[in-house]
């Protein structure tokens, strides 16, 4: 109740101040010069604070809203998802160095086989007008004496529900790099004691890329699927900075022929 009263008082004061400045503006061309000089000084003082508020507000309001789940869903999709790493602020925003089997947040883990890793992970705030994801992931790699670096993303239970061989799973990503490296996406499907895997190379000729995994080419047992995850594998990442601005996954049933 007190908050509502304070808001009401603020609105009334704001209207009163606006009316006062409007009256002064109407009288400015006939005002005595000494009074006009004082009024100009007050106006400049208030304008500095107003400009600060406007600058911060325009900057913050232009960013993707934290927690936003706006996703460009392909036509016919029956499920779409953005991992938490790109959707909300994670408990620990960075790791230096990032060790192997380093949990980043729920459902995201970094793997590598370096003896002396010089890998730094950092969640960053997306600030571009085109970004839908509130956050991105920046990976800085310096000396790298291992043979692989991969980011593992566990898909939620909703991805498994109703999954059929006629489904196509799609990965969309926005990737920035200092220098080109090969990036592979591997879909892993655990069904009972068995495992199905499909690997595609991300076509990094553009910033926004996508790959599709057609489950018709697997021997997946539809009744026994219990876990799905994606590996993003970076080949030769040494002395490079890789930024994943966004990663989303979706699925759609293949059209009947």
For 66-102, the pLDDT digits (tens) are: 666 778 888 899 999 999 999 988 989 899 899 999 9
Residues 177/255, Cβ–Cβ less than 8 Å: no
Q: Which two tokens stand for residue 234?
A: 């970076």
Task: Give mean pLDDT, residues 213-222.
Answer: 94
Q: What is the pLDDT of residue 131?
A: 86
Q: Which residues contact 92 (CB under 8 A, 6 or more apart)?
A: 104
Q: What percent of the chain has pLDDT over 90?
A: 56
Q: Which two tokens stand for residue 213?
A: 């995994």
Q: What is the pLDDT of residue 5?
A: 74
Q: What is the pLDDT of residue 68?
A: 66
Residue 257 has pLDDT above 60, yes or no: no
- In sequence order, the β-bridge partners of residue 187 are 198, 230
Residues 108/232, Cβ–Cβ less than 8 Å: no
- Give the E-state strand segments of the chain in sequence order: 79-81, 94-95, 102-105, 108-112, 119-125, 135-141, 149-154, 167-177, 182-191, 194-201, 208-214, 225-235, 240-253
Residues 135/124, Cβ–Cβ less than 8 Å: yes
CA distance 11 to 48: 21
Residue 62 has pLDDT above 70, yes or no: no
pLDDT digits (tens, 9 = 90+) for 175-186: 999 999 999 999
Residue 29 has pLDDT above 90, yes or no: no
SS3 percent helix, strand, coil of the chain, rounded to 5, is: 25, 35, 35
Residues 231/186, Cβ–Cβ less than 8 Å: yes
Q: How far is CA 235 from the centre of its chain?
A: 23
Burial class from Cβ neighbours inside 10 Å (0-12, 13-18, 19+) for residue 169 reads buried
Q: What is the pLDDT of residue 54?
A: 75
Give the pTM: 0.76
Residues 116/238, Cβ–Cβ less than 8 Å: no
CATH architecture of 79-253: Sandwich (2.60)
Q: How far is CA 148 from the centre of its chain?
A: 24
Q: Which two tokens stand for residue 211?
A: 């790959």
How confident is the prediction for the chain on average, in pLDDT?
89
Q: Prior bond to 97 cis, omega within 30? A: yes
Q: What is the pLDDT of residue 122?
A: 95
């Amino acid at each position: 109740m007190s908050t509502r009263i304070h808001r009401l008082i603020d609105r009334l004061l704001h209207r009163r101040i606006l009316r006062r400045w409007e009256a002064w503006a109407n009288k400015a061309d006939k005002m005595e010069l000494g009074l006009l000089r004082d009024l100009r000084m007050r106006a400049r003082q208030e304008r500095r604070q107003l400009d600060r508020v406007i600058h911060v507000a325009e900057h913050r309001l232009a960013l993707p809203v934290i927690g936003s789940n706006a996703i460009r869903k392909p036509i016919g999709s029956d499920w779409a998802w953005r991992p938490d790493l790109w959707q909300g602020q994670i408990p620990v925003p960075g790791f230096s160095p990032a060790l192997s089997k380093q949990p980043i947040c729920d459902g995201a883990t970094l793997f590598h086989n370096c003896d002396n890793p010089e890998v730094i992970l950092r969640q960053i705030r997306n600030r571009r007008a085109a970004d839908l994801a509130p956050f991105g992931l920046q990976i800085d790699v310096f000396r790298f004496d291992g043979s692989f670096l991969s980011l593992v993303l566990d898909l939620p239970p909703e991805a498994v529900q109703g999954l059929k061989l006629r489904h196509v799973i799609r990965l969309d990503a926005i990737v920035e790099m200092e220098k080109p490296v090969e990036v592979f996406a591997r879909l892993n499907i655990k069904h009972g004691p068995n495992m199905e895997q499909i690997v595609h190379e991300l076509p990094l000729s553009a910033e926004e890329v996508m790959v599709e995994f057609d489950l018709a080419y697997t021997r997946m047992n539809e009744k026994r699927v219990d876990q799905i995850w994606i590996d993003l594998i970076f080949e030769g990442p040494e002395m490079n900075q890789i930024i994943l601005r966004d990663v989303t996954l979706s699925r759609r049933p293949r059209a009947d022929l």
